Every structure is written in structure tokens, then in C-alpha cells.
């Protein structure tokens, strides 16, 4: 601690005054809104004051400057104190705080990125630290810059497993530029937090996870200044013992006040009392400017250097084509990075790792944290991020994916081993819900490539598409069906088989597209012609191509998918054609929890193979003949 410069008395007074002002503005804003969490704001007032006006280096007029220290409010319900801080810096007008939670204000109930000083949306607890890890990893290993990352967590969210996934990640990668501040204010929403004020237990847990952990009085600006200026060689956890509702006599350390604004008369008297505590001080505190050493990054126009180099009829699994495409994209774009959850030799992201080891991040078997780290790596447009695992394992990170949508995050996810076509491993490994899951996220684009060429195009398009992108890849090897110069676009389907006299339109994707093509050859021998469509993207779906071609087959459509009935390709097609008269959609999909078996056996048993398609075509034609 030799290099610790103790703040002078005027600085200490100024920091205390700012803390008092943050409490006052948090109370004013929540009382004006008639809702919010003033007691959760009051426990962190000194922490926020010291962080933003003593420790952090940033340009308050330019919150997203690449060189700025980063701050994530993991306990997102304390948003009013964050807004109060930015009013104190002069970035927000103080009277704007009174519009908290109003429909025409950017100051929402929890932080969202329409506020320039917010990088990732928080409020679903337990997710801030994972995103902070992604930012810190980027700062240390990709940007090689001086900026630090600070994350403020509540004690309630320490019960979330995702917090400990992030703790393990940070220590494994020695993220000594990361500081987590734990607001141990003892009280949760409906009950005290499990460890209450046993701060030494939190300390032991953090130490067991490889962090340097220090206990402080969270209301002492001197102790906070001191601990935050310590040099570190590992991530730092500051365990701040605080009082929930500090400064509000009726609510201090009392249950029953969580998420409740103070009534107007109480707020007025509390504010009056707080104002009397503000000491006259001749010092105005300004944040220190950051070190300018994060080089500018442009993520525009991340392109493949050349067309795919597959030969027609050559066989390759789309999961392998994904790995090859990613490695190729990384060859010519330094800011493409890849993450995986210890499945790299199955998803084939290892092909990227082999070529670009310094841009590959192994996240181990912690999918929730992997998605949060991806969001952190992608924040402030520092990287083009691809994260991969089995499609089915993204289900356990659904809350993180949902929050990535709210965060307007540009992350690309690849889910391999979709459907029953993986075969012998059985249902625990089969992605059968993933299309439904991603279709429900407003910002998501879903690619479902069917061969090596379309997979490579999907990877390139995903890198340049805003929002969440999901690429669904399969385990079986299938033939190349597209020419290498074929042009692909988001929301543009391909007609891959047609004649001038087609009777039924069949829509398949991935494995089932190849089954549909085989069915077309079989039916041709019976003089039945079918038109086969590859949707390429399931969301957005190319409704126009589907409708135009189905009209040529008298509105007769069959969809076939290696996914459950609910929420997949069939339902997407039904939604697209719902207003068309005289259209019928016959859906083939997996109808129950599957089992182990050979891929072809399972496609047959669950009625999504070529024979099931030919049977469905005959049935559709018979029933329309009978209808006449």
C-alpha cells in the first residue's frame, strides 16, 4: 500500500456530499414515479460516489468512449442511483430524473442500452458479472488496453449459479482488470439473503474461487477509496457491508421496504434531513480522463475473402462447414473471435482455435456464462463474436439470450447437433426446442443452412447482421447442393427442385431438405412432381417465395423438420400463409420425446424421412382429390 495516496479531507467531504445527493435524487425520482427501489439505491450511495468521482477514469460527455473504464450495474433495480450519478456528472439534466419510468423517458425501471452509459441491460439478476468478464477479457487480451471493468452486485443475486460461473471464469483467466463490488445489505425482496451480514462467509467463497477478497464498511468513503486503489494481480472482490435503506430512518435495515417508493410526505422530511447533512465544501470533483490506448475498431464489412470452394455432390456436415467458415472469416478479419463450451471438437470451432488461438475463448461447461461473456466481448463494437455449443444446451442460457435481445447485443450463436438425426446419443443431446426458443426473441435472426455452401454464407451474413443470430447446424454429412457462386440473403428462400407441373410444395431444412430431395426423386417415378424449398432463414421467413410457389401447387404445402412441432418451421410457415385462401399446410415433425438409435432409423420412426414425405404427399393429393 506504499503508493496509496490518502484522499484529502476536502475530497472525503465532497464524496460524502455526492453520496447524500445520490440518495436524495434516488428518493425524489422513485417517489415521483410512484414505484422503484429507493432502499436498494441508498445502500450503494457511497460505493457509487467513490467509483464515479474518485476511482474510475472516463469521459462523462462521451459514455461509450472505447478508452473509458466500464461499469455494469448487475443489481439493475438500483437504476435510479445510476441515473443520479450521470446527472451528477452533468451528462443528464437533474430534472430529467423526475421522469423515471415514464413511457416517454429513456430512464427505464432497469438499465437498458438506449441509455448511452449502459452497455448491457440488467435487471434479470446474476448476469452482470458474466458480461463484465467478457469486457475485462476483451480489455486484457484483445484490446490490450488500460481500461478497467467494475461490476456492482447485490447480495440477493449471489444465490444465482451464473455468478459463480463468472467468478470461476475471471480467476481462471486472471482478469486483474476486473473489480466486483458486492453490496451486502442483508435483505432480499421477501426475506433476508441467506448469509445475511456474515461478510466473512462471502469472503471465503470469493477466495475459494480465486479472487482477492476484501471486506469493507460500504458506507466509509475512506475505506472504499483505499481498497479501490490497491494494485492487484487477480480479480478483486470488495465485500461491502451496507445497510439497506441507509439514511431513511423508517426503512433502515427493515424488511418490507424492497421495491417501495417513499410516500411524498415521508420523502420530503427524509430529503430535508439529508440536505442538512451536506457539508459546505470548496472542492468540485471531476472524473479523471482515461488513458487513450484502446485502438479504434471498425466492424463494418466483415467479408469472406473468396467464394466457398466445395464441389457439387461432395459430402460434409454443416457443423464442420461452420468451423471451416469461421476459421476462414477469422483469417481476414482480426476482430472475429470465437467462444465455446468445451464442445469445440463437436461444433468444429476447434478449426478456428487451431488457426487463431489468441482469439478463441474456452468457456468450459458454463453455457449461461458463455452467452454473457459473448455479450461483454461484443459490447461497444469491439469484436464480432461467435459462440457455439450443442443447440440443446442453449436452452439453459435462455434468460441470458432473452437479456441479450433486450441489450440490443450483436452476438452470433451456433447450435450444432440439432434434432433426432444425431442418432445414438439420445434425447438429452438433441436440440428439438431451439427454433422455438430463438423465434420468440424479437431481435433474433435464425439461419438453418442445409449444405456447406449455405453454411459458409450464413456465417458471413451473421457477422454482418445486427441483433442475435442463431445458426443451426447438423451432425450427419450431406451432399453439397449449391454452386459456390450462389448468392444468399437473409430472408430469401431457395427453390431447389421444381418442374412446370408440381403438385405439392415441400419445405425442409438441414437434414430434412435432403430427405425431401430424395422423396422428389422417388415420387418422380410415380409421375408425381413436388417442388422443394429451402427456407435458409427460418426468421425472417421468406413468405413471398413460399406463397408464390405454393400457389403453383394449388396451395398444398408440406413442412418437414427435425424439431418438435411446437414453435418450429411448420408453425413459422403456418403463420406466413394464414391469410391465404385455399392453402393447406400438412406438418411433419418430431411428436414425442425421442430415443437412441441410428440417425436414419430415428428419422423413420419419428416420421420425418423420405418415406414419410412421399406418404404425406400421396395423402395430401388423395384428400384433395376426394374433396373434389
The number of helix segments (H) and strand segments (E) in the chain equals 21, 19
Cα torsion through 364, 367, 372, 378, rounded to 10: 70
Nearest alpha carbon to residue 26 among 41, 16, 44, 14: 41
User: Could you tell me the three cell numbers for 603?
Assistant: 428419422
* Phi, psi values for residue 532, rounded to 5°: -115, 130
User: Could you tell me the three cell numbers for 143?
Assistant: 484490446
Active site annotation includes 160? no
Q: How far apart are CA 124 and CA 403, in angstroms?
A: 8
CA distances from 273 to 133, 186, 269, 278 (A): 40, 25, 6, 10
User: Could you tell me the three cell numbers for 123?
Assistant: 435487471
Strands annotated E in 378-486? 384-390, 411-416, 444-447, 468-472, 477-479
User: Could you tell me the three cell numbers for 392?
Assistant: 440443446
Q: How far apart are CA 166 and CA 153, in angstroms?
A: 12
CA distances from 113 to 406, 407, 409, 592 (A): 8, 6, 9, 40
Nearest alpha carbon to residue 262 among 21, 86, 23: 23
Residue 263, preceding peptide bond in cis (omega within 30° of 0): no
CB atoms within 10 A of CB 65: 17
Q: For the chain, first and last CA: distance in Å? A: 90
Which position among 367, 456, 561, 571 bears the catalytic label? Answer: 367
SS3 string of 148-193? CEEEEEECHHHHCHHHHHHHHHHHHCCCCCEEEEEEECCECCCCEC
Nearest alpha carbon to residue 499 among 552, 445, 561, 570: 552
List residues with catalytic annotation. 367
Amino acid at each position: 500500500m506504499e503508493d496509496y495516496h490518502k484522499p484529502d479531507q476536502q475530497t472525503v467531504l465532497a464524496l460524502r456530499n455526492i453520496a447524500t445527493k445520490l440518495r436524495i435524487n434516488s428518493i425524489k425520482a422513485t417517489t415521483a414515479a410512484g414505484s422503484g427501489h429507493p432502499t436498494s439505491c441508498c445502500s450503494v450511495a457511497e460505493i457509487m460516489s467513490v467509483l464515479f468521482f474518485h476511482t474510475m477514469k472516463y469521459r462523462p460527455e462521451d459514455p461509450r468512449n472505447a478508452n473509458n473504464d466500464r461499469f455494469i450495474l448487475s443489481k439493475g433495480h438500483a437504476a435510479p442511483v445510476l441515473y443520479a450519478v450521470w446527472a451528477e456528472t452533468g451528462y443528464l439534466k437533474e430534472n430529467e430524473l423526475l421522469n423515471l419510468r415514464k413511457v416517454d423517458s429513456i430512464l427505464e425501471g432497469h438499465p437498458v442500452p438506449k441509455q448511452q452509459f449502459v452497455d448491457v441491460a440488467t435487471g434479470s439478476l446474476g448476469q452482470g458479472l458474466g458480461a463484465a468478464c467478457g469486457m475485462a477479457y476483451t480489455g486484457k487480451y484483445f484490446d490490450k488496453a488500460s481500461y478497467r471493468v467494475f461490476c456492482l452486485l447485490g447480495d440477493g443475486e449471489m444465490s444465482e449459479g451464473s455468478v459463480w460461473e463468472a467468478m470461476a471464469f475471471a480467476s481462471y483467466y486472471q482478469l486483474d482488470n476486473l473489480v466486483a463490488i458486492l453490496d451486502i445489505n442483508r435483505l432480499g425482496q421477501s426475506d433476508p439473503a441467506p448469509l445475511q451480514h456474515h461478510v466473512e462467509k462471502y469472503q471465503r467463497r470469493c477466495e475459494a474461487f480465486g479472487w482477492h477478497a476484501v471486506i469493507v464498511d460500504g458506507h466509509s468513503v475512506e475505506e472504499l477509496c483505499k481498497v479501490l486503489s490497491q494494485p492487484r494481480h487477480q480479480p478483486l472482490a470488495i465485500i461491502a457491508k451496507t445497510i439497506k435503506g441507509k439514511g431513511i430512518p423508517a426503512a433502515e435495515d427493515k424488511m418490507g421496504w424492497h421495491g417501495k417508493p417513499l410516500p411524498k410526505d415521508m420523502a420530503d422530511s427524509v430529503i430535508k434531513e439529508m440536505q442538512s447533512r451536506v457539508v459546505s465544501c470548496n472542492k468540485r470533483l471531476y472524473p479523471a480522463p482515461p488513458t487513450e490506448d484502446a485502438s479504434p475498431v471498425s466492424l463494418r464489412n466483415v467479408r469472406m475473402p473468396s467464394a466457398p470452394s466445395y464441389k457439387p455432390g461432395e459430402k460434409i456436415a454443416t457443423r464442420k462447414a461452420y468451423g471451416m467458415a469461421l476459421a476462414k472469416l477469422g483469417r481476414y478479419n482480426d476482430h472475429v473471435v470465437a467462444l465455446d463450451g468445451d464442445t469445440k471438437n463437436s461444433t468444429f470451432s476447434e478449426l478456428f482455435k487451431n488457426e487463431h488461438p489468441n482469439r478463441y475463448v474456452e468457456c468450459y461447461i458454463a453455457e449461461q456464462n458463455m452467452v454473457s461473456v459473448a455479450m461483454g466481448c461484443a459490447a461497444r463494437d469491439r469484436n464480432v463474436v461467435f459462440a457455439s455449443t450443442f443447440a440443446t444446451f442453449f436452452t439453459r442460457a435462455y434468460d441470458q439470450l432473452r437479456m441479450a435481445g433486450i441489450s440490443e447485443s450483436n452476438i452470433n450463436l451456433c447450435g450444432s447437433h440439432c434434432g433426432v438425426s444425431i442418432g445414438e446419443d439420445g434425447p438429452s443431446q438433441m436440440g428439438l426446442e431451439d427454433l422455438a426458443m430463438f423465434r420468440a426473441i424479437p431481435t433474433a435472426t435464425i439461419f438453418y443452412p442445409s449444405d456447406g455452401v449455405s453454411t459458409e454464407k450464413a456465417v458471413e451474413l451473421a457477422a454482418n447482421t445486427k441483433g442475435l443470430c442463431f445458426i443451426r447446424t447438423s451432425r450427419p454429412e450431406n451432399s453439397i447442393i449449391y454452386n459456390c457462386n450462389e448468392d444468399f440473403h437473409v430472408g430469401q428462400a431457395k427453390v431447389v427442385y421444381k418442374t412446370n407441373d408440381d403438385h405439392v410444395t415441400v419445405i425442409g431444412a438441414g437434414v430434412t431438405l435432403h430427405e425431401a430431395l430424395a422423396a422428389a426423386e422417388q415420387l418422380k417415378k410415380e409421375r408425381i412432381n413436388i417442388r422443394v424449398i429451402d427456407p435458409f432463414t427460418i426468421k425472417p421467413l421468406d413468405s413471398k417465395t413460399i406463397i408464390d410457389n405454393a400457389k403453383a401447387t394449388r396451395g398444398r404445402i408440406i413442412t418437414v423438420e427435425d424439431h418438435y412441432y411446437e414453435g418450429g418451421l411448420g408453425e413459422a410457415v403456418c403463420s406466413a400463409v394464414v391469410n391465404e385462401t385455399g392453402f393447406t399446410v400438412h406438418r411433419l415433425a418430431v411428436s414425442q420425446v425421442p430415443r437412441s438409435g441410428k440417425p436414419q432409423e430415428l428419422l423413420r420412426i419419428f416420421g420425418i424421412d423420405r418415406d414419410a414425405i412421399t406418404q404425406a404427399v400421396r395423402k395430401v393429393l388423395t384428400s384433395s382429390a376426394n374433396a373434389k
